[in-house]
Amino acid sequence: MSDTLALPPLAADGGHTMRYDIVHVTRFDYGNAVKFARCNLRLRPIDWPGQRVESYALTVAPAGRVQPARAEAGLAHVARLVIEEPVRSLTIESRARVTIDRAVPVPQADDPSLAEVAALARASNDLSAAGPAAYLFPSPLIPLDPAIADYCRADLAPERNALEAGIALARRIQRDFVFDPAATLVDTPPHEAFRQRRGVCQDFAQVMITGLRAAGLPAAYASGYIRTLPPPGQERLVGADATHAWVLLWCGPARGWIGLDPTNGIWMASDHVVVAIGRDYAEIAPVDGVVLGSGAQAMEVSVDVAPLAD
Amino acid sequence: MATQPALFDAGTNARRWLDDYAGGPDDAMRAGDVAASLAMLEELAAVAGDDLGHARERVQRHAADIGTGFRIIGEDSERPWPVSPIPLLIEADEWARIERGVAQRADLFETILQDLYGAAQLVERGHLPATLVTGSPYFLRPLVGLPPPGGYHLRFVAVDLGRGPSGEWRVLGDQLRAPVGAGYALENRLAVSRTLGGLQGRLNVRRHAPFFAAFRDGLAAACRRSDPRIGLLTPGRYNPSYPEQAHLARYLGLLLVEGDDLAALEDRLYVRTIGGLKRVDALWRRLDPRLLDPLAFDSHSTIGVPGLIDAWAAGNVVLANAPGAGVLESAAFGAFLPQLATRLTGADLILPNIATWWCGQPCEAQHVAAELPSLLLSSAFGARTLGLPGEAPVAGADLSEAQRAALLEAMTARPQDYVGQEIVRLSTMPVVIAERMEPRPFTLRVFAARDRDGRWQVMPGGFARIGAHPDPRAAVMGEGSWSADVCVHGPDPVAPVSLLPAVDTLHVRRNPGTLPSRVADNFFWLGRYLERGEAMLAVIRVMLGNSIDADAGAALGTATVAKLVNELVGAGAAPAPPSLRRADLTQFARTAMEARADGWQSVAAINAHAQRIAGGSRDRLSADMIRLLDAPFPSHRGLLDRAGSLQRRYAAIAGLSAEHMGRTAAWRFHDLGRRIERAQAIARAARVFGAVGAGLDDLSTLLDLGDSQISYRQRYLTGIARVPVLDLVVLDPGNPRALAFQVEAIRDHLARLPVLEDDGMAEAQQIEATELYAMVAPEQAATLTGELLLAVDQRLGRLSDAVARRYFLQGAEPLRAGGLTLA
């Protein structure tokens, strides 16, 4: 599966335009042959303000049937992979070339306050997946939690500028939490990571989303990539070499969704590539589904995000 | 001298009950048609005399006979169904208004759903806030843009009504996902009809059967194929309303299926049956929509069907109701319904909602905050919130000062999570408490279904829930501790619609005729476990001394007793006793009989396996059978008595299955399981107790275990000898306990069960059975060897495996892809 999109012209601002070649390989090895598998692949990056997918190719080995899924939750490209022949291993390779033209947001005096953002979101008449309404509520993997709500409240005074409050909370989480891949698993609930003050990007993002939603704000879970190698003279970002997760806060109709990365304590800008956006991990999981087999499975993931020289 | 209360004077008793009844002027019976109530009470007095408590017991007993039960989540066994002997009577005119109101509501809901999952104009134009939709956990965004096959989202809905002090009916809630209770309404009607047999004719009570027939016809008409196969998808036997689901499946002739029974391939839905995969055209689902398909919604669901939503989206399977309909159930929605009704239909709601304020809007939030003490507060979307003490609605007046402050603070942060509702005072109806009629508040659940023309039919009557306490708010909050039949009556005679006019009878239908593999599996193992329990009991009884041979039992030689002990130890029933002394032996027998812990395969453990399996196929077992299987394990009197009483129970179950079960494929699997198990038991017993040189005690034991003492004594007057014993117990095809008889029956069953191809070739299990028969049939008792018996035993094991491979679900453990750790 491969295609090239027609390219509309990008904003003529060379300052933060980046092009990336992304290779994301997921390999499963099964103890016993798997007779039957159906998976949802959410690997193709979506088009999103400030980013455009120039080309994309998905390959699966050994070959399975890949078709678009009928029922999609929204801000994710879902491909359905069907394996009907017995396989011992499965390699899914996703290659994308993406152009990013996204400036670092700068809070302005006329940005809405958090109270205004909450009221605007509640009154929204946008039922689409990109509207704020769906992200106001707790979701199955990110329930409301009083302890996290209390922790986050300090940064979320209702009258505060929404963007300033958002980045302040992201930075505080980055300061207070220890990045520790051994501390949590993919299904560790937010309150547990919060109790430990440890975890990975998913835990950081989930804690922040819990706090924002408890304050009545629309917050979404974004998954994607950040560039593997830093520009010369800068430090390497945490979360390269793998898929990354961060937070989107809706800041009113004029600002739209603003990305906040609590793992690195930074804004989403030209180092981030959005793949999918959802209420929580369940809606954006890069690979999930049902596999029928009786043995154990092992999984390896590698991600490479290389900036293209102009 | 005892009087004959039943004949005494029903009219006097009825009059007295009514006069003594404490219900106030707004009570449904007091305010209703007194003549009809008197007629109903007379019918009750005619069967119960002057004892209302007796009437209650009687109707409860009928409910138990019908097999009604329910389960409280977390409890292991089902509870008896609490049905009141006194039905709620509603006059035809009053009912007509309810009927119109429910149909209007259902149509309105359909219109709104078509919009929300289609063009979403209501939200875009500002008639509904988007938040009101997205706040519901039942708004399923993946289904937006997919029109429901058959054209409708809703096919079966229920509305909960409360009757106010002046007799007006108001809507307390709507059930749009998988309304519970229609089966209970049906069962209440059956139980009450059996008690008050004359009531139906006397008051012209409208019947339920046409409603269910219309629903089934409507569902069938929505399918693409003309002779569709329709299933009822159950979450399984641990669901609280599983007995209701089983009853409805049986009543409507639907295939009761679990997720495991189904497979979606190439956008089509199939059921795994003993005859291979068979198309399924429609499902009445009782499964939470988010669990339906792990590929579409929650990928952790293990009870759903991967690909089901694809089949639905492709138009190949009708789901009643369509997933996502529950979005309109939230309490918050009630605040918008009156305006939507006028906007979309030009008419006001015939049945008004209770007044509701959704705090997601600033004015409403202010109103609720100001009026907190006089309102009922609840979660707007049914989810747990940070500001309310529990999940249940709570009266503002009942909150402490601190709780009220906490709620107001939480409402400031997330106002959209809360609604305030007016507190409704419910009127009462009579229920029998302490042998008297006492007034209690009640709610009424009314059901509606689409018929084949897509029009709504409303079940005449429904399901009344009666609160446990006199506090009327309790019933609003869903604490129903009694249920009652609801009779719609009027001057017009009701045409008999069914063949048995005395009660509200079943609509006769042919079974869909396909036996799901899971059910075949259940019946097979039910047969095996019952037979295994019976065989084990026989060993215990012989060991303890219960042979009709006066010399056997207590007087059995040590060598024979040791072999009996070995049999039980080998079966894993109990650990070996320290000695063969009487006391040790009794203790050993008790463990083999009753051990429930440590994994011992005691009789009690095997009995529990049988009960568990039977519980999973309730829709296909008779109520008598279920009662026998569910009866508690005997616990009174001595060990031998207990073993005897259990053996008699097993004999009764065997009798029921032999004489009362239709010769369906399900019965064949049940009997096949019994035959294989019995054949293995005999082959083993004959090897152990019938070897060359076996003594009198051994041979007598073999006759006991083969249940052939009497046959032997009638046939041979000379006493016990090895060759004739072996002939009778192993080789005589005329002896229904003999090995040869089992082997023939096994071959016959497998010859009659369906095969996958009609090429005339035998399948693996049939070949095994034929070879087994060829091993046993030509044998002579004088030359029968232990080696042959061992080979037969082993072949029976292979045969059982071949049956399982061919017919049963061979579900490999699903592994899950995913588990990606994001860095």
Residues 139-198 of A with CB under 8 A from B: 140, 143-144, 146, 149, 181, 185-187
For the ranges B153-157, B191-195, B531-535, the lowest mean pLDDT is seen at B191-195
Extract the tokens encoding B45. 């007095």
Question: Given A38, A123, A133, which is nearest B134 (Cβ)?
Answer: A133
Chain B's closest residue to A80, CA to CA, is: B295
Residues of A in contact with B306 (CB under 8 A): 38, 289-290
Residues of A in contact with B317 (CB under 8 A): none
Q: Mean pLDDT, chain B, as a whole number?
A: 87
Q: Which residues pair with A124 in a beta bridge?
A: none
Contact B524, B808 (CB under 8 A): yes
Residues of B in contact with A146 (CB under 8 A): 386
Sheet-wide strand order for B814-816: A65-68, A79-83, A36-41, A287-292, B814-816
Chain B's closest residue to A145, CA to CA, is: B386
Query: Does A127 contact B116 at a Cβ distance shorter than 8 Å?
Result: yes
Chain A nearest-CA distance from B686, in A, is 39
* A29: helix, strand or coil: strand
N-terminal to C-terminal alpha carbon distance within chain A? 27
ipTM of the complex: 0.91
Helix (H) or strand (E) holding B456: strand B456-458
Size of the A and B interface in Cβ pairs below 8 Å = 176
Residues 227-266 of A with CB under 8 A from B: 238-239, 241-245
Contacts of A53 (CB under 8 A, 6+ apart): A5, A44, A45, A46, A47, A96, A97, A98
Sole residue written with tokens 């065997």: B654
pLDDT of residue B513: 56
Measured between alpha carbons, how far is B295 from B624 in angstroms, rounded to an integer?
A: 41
pLDDT of residue B548: 46
Measured between alpha carbons, how far is B486 from B61 in angstroms, rounded to an integer?
A: 19
Q: Tell me the pLDDT band of A3, cut-offs 50, 70 and 90.
A: very low
Handedness of CA B736, B737, B738, B744 (dihedral sign): positive
Measured between alpha carbons, how far is B329 from B353 in angstroms, rounded to an integer?
A: 12
Measured between alpha carbons, how far is A151 from A193 in angstroms, rounded to an integer?
A: 13
Residues 76-95 of A with CB under 8 A from B: 80
* Residue range A142-155, pLDDT digits in tens: 999 999 999 999 99
Query: Does A289 contact B818 at a Cβ distance shorter than 8 Å?
Result: yes
Chain A nearest-CA distance from B71, in A, is 26
Query: Does A202 contact B821 at a Cβ distance shorter than 8 Å?
Result: yes
pLDDT at A5 over 70: no
For the ranges A19-33, B243-257, B509-523, the lowest mean pLDDT is seen at B509-523
pLDDT at B504 over 60: no
Q: Tell me the pLDDT band of B78, cut-offs 50, 70 and 90.
A: low
The separation between CA B424 and the C-alpha centre of its own chain, rounded to angstroms, equals 34
B679 closest CA partner among B617, B737, B609? B737
Mean pLDDT, rounded, for A59-74: 80
Query: What are the backbone angles phi and psi of residue B420, rounded to the nearest 5°?
Result: -110, 140
Mutate to test the interface with B, among A151, A288, A304, A305 (most CBs of B within 10 A): A288
* Residue range B91-148, pLDDT digits in tens: 999 999 999 999 999 999 999 999 999 999 999 999 999 999 999 999 999 999 999 9
Helix (H) or strand (E) holding A51: strand A51-61
Helix ranges restricted to H, A238-284? 252-255, 281-284
pLDDT of residue A118: 98
Sole residue written with tokens 């419910």: B426
Query: Does B131 contact A122 at a Cβ distance shorter than 8 Å?
Result: yes
Query: What are the backbone angles phi and psi of residue B376, rounded to the nearest 5°?
Result: -100, 125
pLDDT of residue B497: 58
Chain A's closest residue to B141, CA to CA, is: A73
CB atoms within 10 A of CB B558: 9
Measured between alpha carbons, how far is B504 from B367 in angstroms, rounded to an integer?
A: 49
B448 closest CA partner among B168, B105, B93? B105
Measured between alpha carbons, how far is B447 from B462 in angstroms, rounded to an integer?
A: 7
Q: Does A37 touch chain B (CB under 8 A)?
A: yes
Query: Does A70 contact B129 at a Cβ distance shorter than 8 Å?
Result: no
Mutate to test the interface with A, among B412, B414, B810 (most CBs of A within 10 A): B414
pLDDT of residue B471: 53
pLDDT of residue B197: 77
pLDDT of residue B435: 83
Chain B nearest-CA distance from A9, in A, is 31
pLDDT of residue A193: 96
Chain A nearest-CA distance from B364, in A, is 13
Measured between alpha carbons, how far is A226 from A242 in angstroms, rounded to an integer?
A: 9
Helix (H) or strand (E) holding B276: strand B276-279
Extract the tokens encoding B307. 């690909």
Question: Given A241, A282, A286, which is nearest B299 (Cβ)?
Answer: A282
Query: Does B386 contact A214 at a Cβ distance shorter than 8 Å?
Result: yes
* Residue range B609-635, pLDDT digits in tens: 898 888 878 778 888 888 888 888 888
Mean pLDDT, rounded, for A14-21: 78
Residues of B in contact with A239 (CB under 8 A): 822-823
Query: Does B815 contact A34 at a Cβ distance shorter than 8 Å?
Result: yes
pLDDT of residue B545: 77
Query: Does B415 contact A241 at a Cβ distance shorter than 8 Å?
Result: no
Question: Given A70, A201, A296, which is nearest B310 (Cβ)?
Answer: A70
The rounded percent of chain B whose pLDDT value lies above 70 is 91
